[in-house]
Structure 1
Amino acid sequence: MYTCIENKMILITIQMKKSIYLTGFLLLSLFSLSAQTLISGKVLDENKQALIGANVYIKGTVEGASTDTEGFFQFESTSNGEQVLVVSCLGYQTHEKKDLINNLKDLIIIMKQEELGLDEIVVTASTFSIGKSRTVKKMNALDVVLTGSSNGDIYGALQTLPGTQKVGEDGKLYVRGGETRESQTFIDGMHVLFPYTSTAQNTPVRSRFSPFLFKGINLSLGGYDSEYGQALSSVLPMETKDVASSTKFGVNASPLSIGGGGTYVWKKASVSANVNYTNKGLYSKVFPDDYQWKKDYRSLAGEVQIRSQLGRNSVHKLYLGVDRTAFIRTITDDLNNTPTRNFDLTRDNYYINSTFVTRTKNNYHLFFGTAYSYASNKYKNTNLVGDAFTDHESELHAKAKIEKSISKFYKLRGGFEAYLKNHSQTYEDNSSALLMDNDLQRNLYAGYIDNQFKLKKYLYANASARVEYSELLNSWNLAPRLSLNYINNGFQASAIVGKYFQEQDDDAMFSKNDIGRQESCMHYILSGSYELDGTVLKVELYKKNYEGLGLLQNDAYSSSGYGNSKGIDAYLSGESSPLRLKYTMAYSYNDSKRLFKDYAVESVPLFSTKYNASLSLRYSMPALKAYVGLTYSYASGRPYNNPNKSGFINSKAPEYHSLDCNITFLLSKNVILYSSVTNVLGRKNVYGYTYSNTANAEGVYNRKPIVNSRKQFYYVGIFISLKSDSAYDVSSF
């Protein structure tokens, strides 16, 4: 049995139409003395399966109905003589039958599947979604919050997807054997230079952005199109919500934080604001961690977004986010017997994003955007008591793009963008001697063209190219990309090949060595997925070849490093309505090796895990007005270097296991209580070991494990809407 209802909005639309038809019929029956004729039949697809929710009506009237779960329809008509019966269903060609009204009964109507045009095609290879977006899985932002391991964090939720690798001590995104810097985040198409919060060592970071800010969160694990550059492994494009439809205000509180905000709506615009203050002092007294704090971790964050509908076809969005983080942690280095010091961090972060989207009379889609990122970091007692380190980094990103469907067989897209970056650092030792004064200005300019073709029924291709010019290296790069996709009735198969570039990291560029070129990576991907009645199965094979990686040899950097990564990802998601249960399962195998940074030989990188798996469950309890989320995560042990053994990167840490859960209660119409706990079983997960700089009297290097500062993290928060008729949705956005 198939359904042509693809989302709730379609279902609502169908039911509204059905109600209109029935209402119209009742009104007519009150005033008409005409004879009524019964119209009936069944609507099937080409495989003789019932089509649910097909719209059936007499052309030019309000008489009609929708098909039921068996594809059956019937309604009464007051029309006479020859009439046209119309049957429409999403994804199928509209069917019209012209006949005498008395002959329109006990019909069997076969609907032919509609051939999708390029505007309707969405290729889901290597892409996973959270939010009301356009790819494999359509969820709302609560699915981020209710993922057992997420703690309401976007990146925490994404790490339950295949292709991601568990690096638990920092919580950042690592994809298919790539470093975290190889995964880049974009909001409304514009780059975010600093997507993570600042934390103490071995404490997982969080996203700086609430999931409720976005209508779509799409993680592309590779093979992404030529609009995106400067990312060797993956991109995370996130789309903000459009103009809000209602005014709302709310507050939230927990043992760690307090905040509030709201949205004000007028005719064709809305403005939203949110502020949150976090201080872990009280929490640390109740649940102490392994660190000593002179001043507890604290942060103050605020954000504002203005969204305006400018006419029928134009939208402008402006976003501003600012935050300050500070703490002083007492550090004692027992391994090397260095003096105790009070490590002092103050970080200021700013992000501005402005986009304008419009459609012309000739159906050209135009986009203009600018984004500015800035971070100022001030450290004291970094390596020595009394030293000082400053780090300031900024980026201006500007982009313009155009899109036009030339015909139903060809769509053209293209654009230009510029990245203007500056990074400066200074370091003074405890005698105020200036030992470091780095300043790096690097500008990059790029253009791309993207051609989408419909080759024949169910078969589509994309051929694109991206050209980049690095002003610092005075070099040009060409990145061609090609994909072939077969899409038919829930089944997709894709083959993708493409080249990707990224500038060397700042450590290499600060060295003043002749780097010569950017890093590059070739992606080869084979993907297959099938979706039926809300259940999604997806399997992908991939291979990545790296060249030009930054390599430190004899105290000098070069671009002669290289590497490779290959593996398989599998994903299954679905739900059981009778059990009120949603589930996702993910499995990843990755085999990667690199010669880069200060590696002596080609080795498995320290951040890589060969096996990763997760199982996430979400269970609803209507009687209690509650949701329960559970996530079990597994990762094989990560490699590390043991100086007490021969060889390089010669040992492996224990396996990672964690069971995380959360419970959400709707206490009343406008109050939500949210609670979560990580690592329920209290397992001590070890990510590797830190060794002393010198051997002891027995010739052995002492060590201590790299573990999280807390085995478990508990959270309880309450969210209150100040509008009496709706629940506060965790974020005012």
Structure 2
Amino acid sequence: MMKKFLYIASLFIVSFFHCQMEITGIVTNPKKVPVAGANVYLQNTMLGDTSSESGKFKIIVEKDQMPEKLVLIITAIGLDDKSIELDQNTTGVIDLGKIKMDTNATAIDEVVISANSFSLGKSRGVEQMNSLDVVMTGSSNGDVMGALQSLPGTQRVGEDGKLYIRGGDSNELGTYIDGMHVFSPYTASSQDTPSRGRYSPFIFKGVNLSLGGYELEYGQSLSSVLPMETKDVAGESKVGINFSPLSLGGGGTLGSEKRSLSFNINYTNLGLYNKIFPDKFDWKKEYRNFAGEGQFKNVFENKSQLKMYWGYNKTGFIREFEDANTAQKRDVGLDENNYYLNTTFQTKPKNGLQYFAGLAFSRVDDQYTNAQISGDAFNENQQEIHSKFKIKKTFSKTYKLSAGFENFTRNYDNEYFLGNNRLQNEKLRYSISALFADNQLRLYKGLYSNISARVEYNNYNNSSVFYPRLSLDYIQNKFQTSLIFGRYYQLPSNMVLAKTSNLSQEVSDQYIASASYDNKGISLKTEFYYKKYSNLWLLKNNQYTSDGYGDSKGFDVYFSDDSSIKNLKYSVSYSYNDSKRLYEKFPEVATPIFASKHNIRLNTLYYFSPIRTYVGVTNTFASGRPYNNPNLSGFNQSKTPVFNSLDVNASVLLGKKVILYTSLTNVLGRENVFSYRYTPNPSSIGSYNNEPITASRKRFFYIGIFISLKNNSAYDVSNF
């Protein structure tokens, strides 16, 4: 009897782990010719395949991988996307036979230029992934900005956590949500503690990082842009909660076919976490952050879409600092309130015509206490209103125009107090207006060109600038090559502009040559670039000038493979950068402290089917970064030790509606030195003392539970 029971139980266990569905088919064009290289995947999962030369595909779905709604998506260049809803209760083989794709009426609309951009999530078709790619990147800790630092062209600056692209400063990156500017995309943090992105990765259906040479719809970004696209109408109601030793959150969506209303709140407090895993800092009031966000989406009868997004962040802490010269201690405090509102309206293309209108409001209020010396206070308020109108018109299969205008209106105030005495009160008011036009042409079969222009006027210094952009792209089946030239402008930061009225717009001329090859889930991409900077702000003889200049050159190589080994995705990249500048307070031309010459990254993601677990591993290597040692002659003449960090995470499907997410950074416990901080004055023996700038803790461990309380599965735990 016992043997029979064990036999039946073993059959049950085997059937539980091995019961599966197999989806097969053949993708064809309207002439019934097989389509090779089509992307075929299940919506809201990581399961997919690329059609072979004969158009065939096969997707295997284990029982524990089954989403609540089974929708097959097929995309291919020059053809309309196709979605097929399948019966999730079916087991065995589902053979869809020949699937005929319709030709897009205006094939130029389907051209995807992958030069100078990398994607997380399905947005522009460069890659097809779901939102969990962000949290499943080994080094991300669930942070959008952290995940993007695993891509080529980025440089790891561990002490502040922000994005630095191809030798450019972090403030040279422009961040956009649904085409509208985000003035402050990072959370506030204390000195030597990395910031995080303000926004939940789950609200986005696509995150595209453009490393340079980007479209002229985007201005005031000297180096690169990060456009992020929010998800469309949810279509169903759902609610979820999450908790961990350092945070508690939850939210939900009230959804229907045409509209949805979503909200999400999250509270983070490092008090308990620092008791369990103490860091090297002395916190008088633990770091805490409250974040709330919401979104309303509506699709009208004519398929036009309205999106409204609002977000609020409140951050505060008090941390003890010791003055390097006097050895006196003071409690430095920060309270920040960050507000963001974004509204966009977009029509569905009709007769090749499409309209877009958007309005965004950003405001950041910061209050610092004991910032420089005990008893002082510094208050800073920044505000921006961004408006945009854009029109797209496809005139034929060979020509498409996109044109529009936008305006930025900015306010800035700061005050500095010592006791009750106000020693500084700076105010700044200015606006930037721009017209832009983008002409995309198909010159010949597979050969495309883009001729763009942007004209900008600002009333800070009552001047106008002209942006030109030219590109030539050749696409042939699996191979693509591009040549790009673009000129970009950006005003210095508000804090600098408030001190003077004679600065010019900073300039970056960018030259890019790239080539890529994609075949059945295997991609190889290489890109060479050169950036020439001019009119950078420079403090010369205690006067603010626009006499700074510099350049940055290098190349990136990227290889990824999603199909060779079942359940495994991996990528490896190498980036070389040689950057030199004379800007800000530099006394001579030198490599900036954030730029490392060599960066190597390895990313892997593997699904262990028997235990229903995704494991992500990232290994990052970077050569030493320059720093200035005042005990030696020259400037930024020294280098830190090499940086190396092995980071892992795991997402365990504990149940159909429950995910356990855990991550560990710097598994090997390496003491990475980001730079060195020297005393401003020499000691009694004439030398400058220093201390290394390192992470607040050798490792950062996170564990959290994400629970879906509605009908959706754990693959869709996002509240949006």
Whether TM exceeds 0.5 here: the answer is yes
CA contact (8 A) 1:662 1:676 kept: yes
2:91 aligns with none
Aligned pair 1:451/2:439, yes or no? Answer: yes
Alpha-carbon distance between aligned partners in 2 of 1:655 and 1:567, rounded to the nearest angstrom: 19
Deviations, residues 439-460 of structure 1 (Å, cap 9, x unaligned): 1112100010111111011100
Match for 1:435 among 423, 431, 436? 423
The change in CA–CA distance for 1:416 and 1:114 in structure 2 (over 3 A counts) is closer
Match for 1:225 among 210, 215, 221? 215
Greater alpha carbon shift after TM alignment, 132-141 vs 122-131: 132-141
Aligned pair 1:478/2:463, yes or no? Answer: no
Deviations, residues 104-133 of structure 1 (Å, cap 9, x unaligned): xxxxxxx9x999821110111101001111
- Which consecutive residues of structure 2, in runs of 5 or more, have no partner in the other structure? 1-21, 41-50, 58-73, 81-100
Aligned pair 1:511/2:503, yes or no? Answer: no
2:194 aligns with 204
1:325 aligns with 315
Deviations, residues 171-195 of structure 1 (Å, cap 9, x unaligned): 1000010000001100000000010
CA contact (8 A) 2:461 2:501 kept: no
Between the aligned residues of both structures, percent identity stands at 51
Match for 1:147 among 128, 137, 154? 137
The change in CA–CA distance for 1:578 and 1:476 in structure 2 (over 3 A counts) is closer
CA contact (8 A) 1:661 1:676 kept: yes
CA contact (8 A) 1:210 1:731 kept: no
1:408 aligns with 397
2:631 aligns with 644
Equivalences for residues 33-112 of structure 1 within 5 A:
none
C-alpha RMSD of matched pairs (Å): 2.7
CA contact (8 A) 2:26 2:54 kept: no
1:678 aligns with 665
Aligned pair 1:283/2:293, yes or no? Answer: no
1:708 is displaced (CA, Å) by: 1.3
Aligned pair 1:181/2:186, yes or no? Answer: no
Aligned partner letter, 1:285 = K
Aligned pair 1:704/2:691, yes or no? Answer: yes
The change in CA–CA distance for 1:310 and 1:145 in structure 2 (over 3 A counts) is same
Alpha-carbon distance between aligned partners in 2 of 1:392 and 1:477, rounded to the nearest angstrom: 28
1:680 is displaced (CA, Å) by: 0.3
The change in CA–CA distance for 1:286 and 1:570 in structure 2 (over 3 A counts) is same
* Matched residue SS, 1:203: coil
1:395 aligns with 384
CA contact (8 A) 1:390 1:427 kept: yes
The change in CA–CA distance for 1:706 and 1:92 in structure 2 (over 3 A counts) is closer
Alpha-carbon distance between aligned partners in 2 of 1:212 and 1:581, rounded to the nearest angstrom: 22
Alpha-carbon distance between aligned partners in 2 of 1:460 and 1:72, rounded to the nearest angstrom: 29
Aligned partner letter, 2:290 = L
Match for 1:722 among 709, 712, 718? 709
Alpha-carbon distance between aligned partners in 2 of 1:473 and 1:706, rounded to the nearest angstrom: 39
CA contact (8 A) 2:79 2:110 kept: no
2:224 aligns with 234
Alpha-carbon distance between aligned partners in 1 of 2:639 and 2:570, rounded to the nearest angstrom: 31
Alpha-carbon distance between aligned partners in 2 of 1:220 and 1:89, rounded to the nearest angstrom: 22
Match for 1:586 among 554, 567, 573? 573
Equivalences for residues 310-389 of structure 1 within 5 A:
310-333=300-323, 335-359=324-348, 361-389=350-378
TM-score calculated relative to the size of structure 2: 0.87
CA contact (8 A) 1:42 1:72 kept: no
TM-score calculated relative to the size of structure 1: 0.85
Deviations, residues 214-254 of structure 1 (Å, cap 9, x unaligned): 11100000011110110011000011111012111011000
1:424 aligns with 413
Alpha-carbon distance between aligned partners in 2 of 1:237 and 1:321, rounded to the nearest angstrom: 17
1:136 is displaced (CA, Å) by: 2.4
Aligned pair 1:264/2:254, yes or no? Answer: yes
1:615 is displaced (CA, Å) by: 0.1
CA contact (8 A) 2:265 2:293 kept: yes
Alpha-carbon distance between aligned partners in 2 of 1:308 and 1:42, rounded to the nearest angstrom: 37
1:43 is displaced (CA, Å) by: 5.7
Aligned pair 1:658/2:648, yes or no? Answer: no
Alpha-carbon distance between aligned partners in 2 of 1:50 and 1:593, rounded to the nearest angstrom: 42
CA contact (8 A) 2:506 2:535 kept: yes
CA contact (8 A) 2:77 2:110 kept: no
CA contact (8 A) 1:526 1:542 kept: yes
Aligned partner letter, 2:531 = K
* Matched residue SS, 2:114: coil
1:674 is displaced (CA, Å) by: 0.4
The change in CA–CA distance for 1:374 and 1:90 in structure 2 (over 3 A counts) is closer
Greater alpha carbon shift after TM alignment, 359-368 vs 460-469: 359-368
Deviations, residues 19-74 of structure 1 (Å, cap 9, x unaligned): xxxxxxxxxxxxxxxxxxxxxx99668xxx99999xxxxxxxxxxxxx9986799x
Match for 1:255 among 232, 245, 259? 245
CA contact (8 A) 2:239 2:708 kept: yes
Aligned pair 1:245/2:235, yes or no? Answer: yes
Alpha-carbon distance between aligned partners in 2 of 1:509 and 1:412, rounded to the nearest angstrom: 35
The change in CA–CA distance for 1:161 and 1:409 in structure 2 (over 3 A counts) is same
The change in CA–CA distance for 1:159 and 1:92 in structure 2 (over 3 A counts) is closer
The change in CA–CA distance for 1:177 and 1:278 in structure 2 (over 3 A counts) is same
1:374 is displaced (CA, Å) by: 0.4
Alpha-carbon distance between aligned partners in 2 of 1:520 and 1:715, rounded to the nearest angstrom: 42
* Matched residue SS, 1:706: strand
CA contact (8 A) 1:643 1:701 kept: yes
1:512 is displaced (CA, Å) by: 1.8
Alpha-carbon distance between aligned partners in 1 of 2:276 and 2:466, rounded to the nearest angstrom: 56
1:495 aligns with 483
1:168 aligns with 158
CA contact (8 A) 1:511 1:556 kept: no
Match for 1:120 among 110, 116, 140? 110
Alpha-carbon distance between aligned partners in 2 of 1:92 and 1:599, rounded to the nearest angstrom: 51
CA contact (8 A) 1:513 1:557 kept: no
2:545 aligns with 558
CA contact (8 A) 1:669 1:724 kept: no
Aligned pair 1:216/2:203, yes or no? Answer: no
The change in CA–CA distance for 1:624 and 1:504 in structure 2 (over 3 A counts) is same
1:549 aligns with 536
Q: How many residues in Structure 1 have an aligned counterpart in Structure 2? A: 651
Deviations, residues 604-646 of structure 1 (Å, cap 9, x unaligned): 1111111111000111101001011100001111100001011
CA contact (8 A) 2:238 2:711 kept: no
* Matched residue SS, 1:508: helix
2:3 aligns with none
Alpha-carbon distance between aligned partners in 2 of 1:240 and 1:619, rounded to the nearest angstrom: 27
The change in CA–CA distance for 1:135 and 1:206 in structure 2 (over 3 A counts) is same
CA contact (8 A) 1:223 1:497 kept: yes
* Matched residue SS, 1:143: helix
Alpha-carbon distance between aligned partners in 1 of 2:466 and 2:393, rounded to the nearest angstrom: 23
Aligned partner letter, 1:540 = E
1:339 is displaced (CA, Å) by: 2.6
The change in CA–CA distance for 1:241 and 1:90 in structure 2 (over 3 A counts) is closer
Aligned partner letter, 1:424 = D
Aligned partner letter, 1:439 = K
CA contact (8 A) 1:450 1:463 kept: yes
